[in-house]
């Protein structure tokens, strides 16, 4: 047996009134993949809507995207669902993972890479240059430089990046 009072005793953060409200509204909810949602709503459409919202938020933040859990919180997504959506976006090639918790829109990343390659025609790039020129934190600067290192036209020498054609 379960009551609002017994739930409130087990969960210090939940008031008895809150627990009563939750129990009274349980018949109005469906449950799928660990998520409660309003009866009658199509789960797949909800997932797609949330996935699109996550992608749009990543695109809007351009080069300095928030950490995934902060994105999820702003969209009111649970971590499990958000992680699955982010994996799906990555698998679809819309988003690129640059570091443990740094995901960026692929088109934005490719445009930025071209900008960096143009910069490299005249100068070298290192962490300090990235921080100064683009106002990046060290975390972002390193992630973008490591991505740039994957390009065969780039050579890394003493923590500085150069175009091979300039050496």
Q: What's the structural domain count of the chain?
A: 3
Q: What pLDDT band is residue 35 in, cutting at 50, 70 and 90?
A: confident
Q: Which two tokens stand for residue 52?
A: 């699109």
DSSP-derived secondary structure letter, 41 = S
CATH number, domain of 148, equals: 1.10.10.10
Q: Which residues contact 70 (CB under 8 A, 6 or more apart)?
A: none
CATH number, domain of 81, equals: 1.10.10
Examine the fold and report which residue of 100, 118, 133 is the final residue of a domain before the chain moves on: 100
Residues 112 and 62 both lie in one domain: no
Q: Which two tokens stand for residue 133?
A: 């020129």
Residues 160 and 129 both lie in one domain: yes
Q: What is the pTM of this model?
A: 0.83
Examine the fold and report which residue of 52, 85, 100 is the final residue of a domain before the chain moves on: 100
Q: What is the mean pLDDT of the chain?
A: 93
**pLDDT, average across residues 106-134:** 95
Q: Helix H segments across the chain?
A: 4-10, 16-25, 43-60, 68-74, 79-91, 106-120, 127-134, 138-149
Assess whether pLDDT exceeds 90 at residue 37. no
Assess whether pLDDT exceeds 80 at residue 167. no
């Amino acid at each position: 047996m379960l009551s609002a009072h017994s739930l409130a005793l087990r969960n210090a953060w939940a008031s008895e009134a809150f627990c009563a409200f939750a129990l009274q509204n349980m018949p109005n909810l469906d449950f799928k993949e660990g998520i409660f949602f309003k009866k009658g709503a199509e789960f797949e459409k909800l997932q797609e809507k949330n996935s699109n919202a996550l992608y749009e938020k990543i695109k809007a933040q351009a080069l300095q995207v928030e950490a995934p859990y902060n994105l999820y919180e702003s969209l009111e997504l649970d971590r499990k669902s958000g992680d699955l959506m982010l994996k799906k976006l990555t698998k679809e090639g819309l988003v690129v993972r640059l570091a443990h918790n740094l995901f960026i829109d692929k088109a934005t990343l490719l445009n930025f890479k071209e900008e960096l390659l143009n910069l490299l025609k005249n100068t070298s790039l290192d962490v300090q240059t990235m921080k100064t020129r683009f106002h990046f934190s060290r975390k972002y600067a390193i992630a973008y430089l490591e991505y740039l290192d994957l390009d065969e036209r780039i050579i890394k020498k003493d923590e500085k990046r150069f175009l091979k054609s300039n050496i």
